[in-house]
Structures are given as structure tokens and as C-alpha cells.
Amino acid sequence: THCILLGAPIDEGQRRPGCLMGPAAYRVAGLAQTLTALNHSVEDRGDVIPGPARPVACTNPAVHHLPEVIAWTDALRTAVAEALDDGLPIIMGGDHALALGTVAGAAVHAERAGRPLFVLWLDAHSDIHTVRTTTSGNLHGTPIAYALGLPGFDPCPPFPHPVPGANICMFGIRSVDPAEHAALLAIDITVNDMRVLDEHGIVAPLRAFLDRVEAENGMLHVSLDVDFLDPSIAPAVGTTVPGGATFREAHLVMELLHESGLVTSLDLVELNPFLDDRGRTAKLMVDLVGSLMGRKVFDRPTRSF
């Protein structure tokens, strides 16, 4: 696979500084080397540069940095749509507001390719606020609502080709605000919260989703939020929520994604290297990408139990 690294040092989707160091941390942690070692070609296109932030009117006074986030969204939509022509874009964030642009870019490309777009959201949070409903004003909590084409994004450019809720699958969810709860109940969307994973494990629900992607010849955008992982293994994130995915669960998700061969683009979001413990979260994220891109203990079938 030709892997295209895109840095997205966006920090404006939330209030704790540090995510802008994410792309540098992934480079230091050896993301490119990890991919090369798995026999992939790697092209680091450097960091995406947003255009100028133009003032906009917004009716929700809590919302902050909307002009900056709109500028990022425009730049990332174009960068991701173009990168998809040439290979598999891996977007090194940056906070989750970058997904407003990356999912839009994937949607633009999918439309051109005449294929449906599916989204796998690996996150503690459902990120389904609109610009109107967010009470924190942190726009990293909004990309799912944007991708669905929900109303309430007034000053933002409309999402290009909205993704149907039925094409979106969430895993790891354990923090949902009241307005988000109402939004989730109002649409057809798969929410595999931690309760589902406790009861069924991760394999059956993930295979069910991947089977649908394959049956429809879909493109698959994966958005991996660091807080999907349990804070005990991934401390470098501003929005830790206890009870997240374990080391093995996370690797298993990635291994199943690799076996499916369906992933067409990937976000790595919310890493805040300033909060890390000797780079362990950055290294874990790079190792998870390794599993997603084919690293395994045995590379040929062996006898198991």
C-alpha cells in the first residue's frame, strides 16, 4: 500500500493546548519507519496548512475558534480527497475537529469514485454535537453531526455528500451528553458502547459492520481517537474517560481491519504529547497503525490450539 502521511496540527477544536505537537510526536515515534518495515511505501506530505481564518457570525456564544476550524476543514477536505487518488491517507492530528475536513474529503472522493462511504468511529465520545447544541463550545465534539449533514452548522460550508447514519459505526463509547443522546436516538446509527463490548467482545460487532462495508463495495474511513483506549495505557489525551479499550482489544480491532482489507483512510486524533509519559501513548498509537497495516506475530498460518 502507498501510505500518505498528512500532518494536521490543529489545536483549536478544544481548549487544552498540546495537540498541535501530535504530528511531530508521530514522526518521532517512527510512524513512517513502522510502515516501511511492513513493506509499504510511505510519502510524508508534511503538515497541511490552513488558509486564513475569516470572521463568521455564530449564534452559539460558547463556540470558540470557529473561523480557524472552518479554515482547517477546507484545507483538509482538499488534501484528503487528493491523497485518496494516490494512496491511503493517514492523518496525524491534531484534535478531533480535523475529522470535519477528513471525512468531508473522503466523502468527496467516494462520490467521484461512485462508492458509498462508511465511517468507523473509535472513541469514548459520540462527537455528534452541532455548532448549535454544543455546550462546551469545543468543536472536536461535532464531526459526526457534520458528516451526517445535520442542520445546525450554519456558518460552515455544507458537508459535501452526507454520510447516512446506517454507514456509521461507533466503538468504545462511554461519554455521551444529553443533546448527543437525543441525536443518536433520532437516527439509524450503530453505537457499540462499552456495554456492548463487555457483553459480546469486539469481534462479532466489528465483523458485522465490516461485512456490510464489503457487501456494498464501500470506502472505509477510520477515525481513531486516543481516548478510545483506556487512560491507563494511553494517558496523553485531554479528555480521558475511564473504562476504555484494552491493549489487546485495540490491537484486535486493528488486526481485523487489516484482514478485511477495507480501510481507505485513517485519522489519528487527540494525541496530546505534552501529557504523555515518555512517549508511550505516541508509541502505542504507532504500534496500532502497525497492526492495522499488517504487523502480526506470525506471517503465515500456524497451528493454534
Active site members: 96, 123, 125, 127, 140, 225, 227, 270
Length in residues, the chain: 305
Q: How far is the CB of 194 from ligand ARG (least distance, A)?
A: 15
Size of the site for ligand ARG (CB under 6 A): 14
Which residues 102-141 are close enough to bind ligand ARG by CB under 6 A? 125, 127, 129, 134, 136, 138, 140-141
- What is the C-alpha separation between 108 and 54, in angstroms, rounded? 23
Query: Which positions ≥6 away from 253 have C-beta within 8 Å?
Result: 122, 171, 202, 206, 245
For residue 186, count CB atoms less than 10 angstroms from its CB and return exposed for 0-12, middle for 13-18, buried for 19 or more: exposed
Taking the least distance from each CB to ligand ARG, the nearer of 134 and 265 is 134
Q: Is 96 in the site for ligand ARG (CB under 6 A)?
A: yes
Q: Is 227 in the site for Mn ion (CB under 5 A)?
A: yes
For residue 62, count CB atoms less than 10 angstroms from its CB and return exposed for 0-12, middle for 13-18, buried for 19 or more: exposed
Cα angle, residue 92 at apex, residues 261 and 52 outer, rounded to 5°: 130
Q: How far is the CB of 270 from Mn ion (least distance, A)?
A: 6
Taking the least distance from each CB to ligand ARG, the nearer of 78 and 136 is 136
Q: Which three cell numbers stand for residue 170?
A: 461507533
- What is the C-alpha separation between 133 and 150, in angstroms, rounded? 11
Q: What is the DSSP letter of 245?
A: B
Gyration radius of the chain over CA positions: 18
Taking the least distance from each CB to ligand ARG, the nearer of 35 and 139 is 139
Q: Is 125 in the site for Mn ion (CB under 5 A)?
A: yes
Q: Which of 68, 180, 225, 287 binds Mn ion (CB under 5 A)?
A: 225
Q: Is 65 in the site for ligand ARG (CB under 6 A)?
A: no
Residues that bind ligand ARG (CB under 6 A): 96, 125, 127, 129, 134, 136, 138, 140-141, 177, 225, 227, 239, 270
